[in-house]
Amino acid sequence: MPLGVRIRRKIPGILSAALVIFVMLVLFGPIVLLAVLSFDKSTIIALYWQGFTTQWYHDAWVNSDLRSAVQNSLVVAVIVTLFSMVLGTTSAFAITRFKFRGRGLVAGLIGAPLVVPWLMIGIGAAIFFFHYQIPTMFPLSLYSVGAVQIICTFPLVTAVLASRLARFEAVQEEAAVDLGASRMQVLRRVILPQLTPALGAAAIFAFSWSFNNFEIDFFVGGYDQTFPVWVYSELRRAPNLPIINASSTLISAIQVIMVIFAWRLLASDESDERRTATAVIDVLP
């Protein structure tokens, strides 16, 4: 085979590999650099290495303001995830399983927060609260943060679950009903087992979205600080920059693991979606 032909055949593979490497550098390069700097003795962000240390991780652990901010973010994220899972699951079932007038409009309204920038949502929520003088009755706090975040997060759960339900083979439910299964048995033994990976992935994404949200936390959080707001407020203090690097490295590592796990759940769900109705009905009593 001529050399020119072999080179032309290898070009697509080379370009694909280069694109993957570029995307990985853009996505994970800052995280890797953040992790490296978190072990540097220097109190300023610089490429000149001044020595290895784990002091900043200890300082981050004993920092009471940081622990309080992380705790606030965890509490809000857990509550937002629970409410979003309930609202998102019911919305996904309503959109994909029931036909009613205005279904397209309802689906569009639910999905709207996914395309509106969080900055606009945060500013709009703050204007809404102050226009109706809500802070005079209920001061802005983690409660207001959670309420606004639920509105922005449950559409993500709806999108993930609706895409899975849209691919679900209705013949499996019909076969289960024909064999005498009740609606609750169909839901428990046929639908939920195949929906579980999507539910787990949606919960992980919802938790990550809520924990990392800065715009909503900043504008409607009042005097209660979450982790993103704490990081923003401490960026102007040079001595605390290494602590920010250390804490952000740990949290970023945990969230990367969570996202990878969610991706694996969705991948396993995708590989199992062609399960036959006979295999599912075998587990029915």
Q: Taking the domain 63-281, which CATH number applies?
A: 1.10.3720.10
Instruction: Give the 3-state secondary structure of residue 117.
Output: coil
More confident residue, 8 or 83: 83
In 3D, which of 261, 267, 143, 119 has the Cα closest to residue 203?
261
Q: Residue 285's pLDDT is what?
A: 47
Burial of 99 (0-12, 13-18, 19+ CB in 10 A): exposed
The 10s digit of each residue's pLDDT in 78-122 is: 999 999 999 999 999 888 878 888 888 888 888 888 888 888 999
Q: Where are the domains of the chain?
A: 63-281
The 10s digit of each residue's pLDDT in 215-247 is: 999 999 888 899 999 988 888 776 778 888 888
Give me the amino acid identity at 86: V
Q: Residue 238's pLDDT is what?
A: 65
**Do residues 255 and 161 touch, judged by C-beta distance below 8 A?**
no
Residue 282 has pLDDT above 60, yes or no: no
The 10s digit of each residue's pLDDT in 24-63 is: 888 778 888 888 888 888 777 666 777 888 888 888 888 8
Residue 168 has pLDDT above 80, yes or no: no
d(CA 272, CA 261): 17
The 10s digit of each residue's pLDDT in 35-45 is: 888 888 877 76
**DSSP state for residue 203 in the 8-state scheme:** H
The length of the chain, given as a count of residues: 285
The gap from C-alpha 104 to its chain's centroid, in whole angstroms, comes to 25
Summary mean pLDDT of the chain: 81
Residue 183 has pLDDT above 70, yes or no: no
Q: Which residues contact 263 (CB under 8 A, 6 or more apart)?
A: 201
d(CA 149, CA 142): 10
Residue 155 has pLDDT above 50, yes or no: yes
β-partners of residue 196 are: none
Tokens representing 183 are 């609606």
> Measuring CA to CA, how many Å separate 120 from each of 88, 125, 126, 216, 219?
22, 8, 10, 9, 10
**Do residues 202 and 104 touch, judged by C-beta distance below 8 A?**
no
Q: Residue 78's pLDDT is what?
A: 95
Q: Residue 279's pLDDT is what?
A: 44
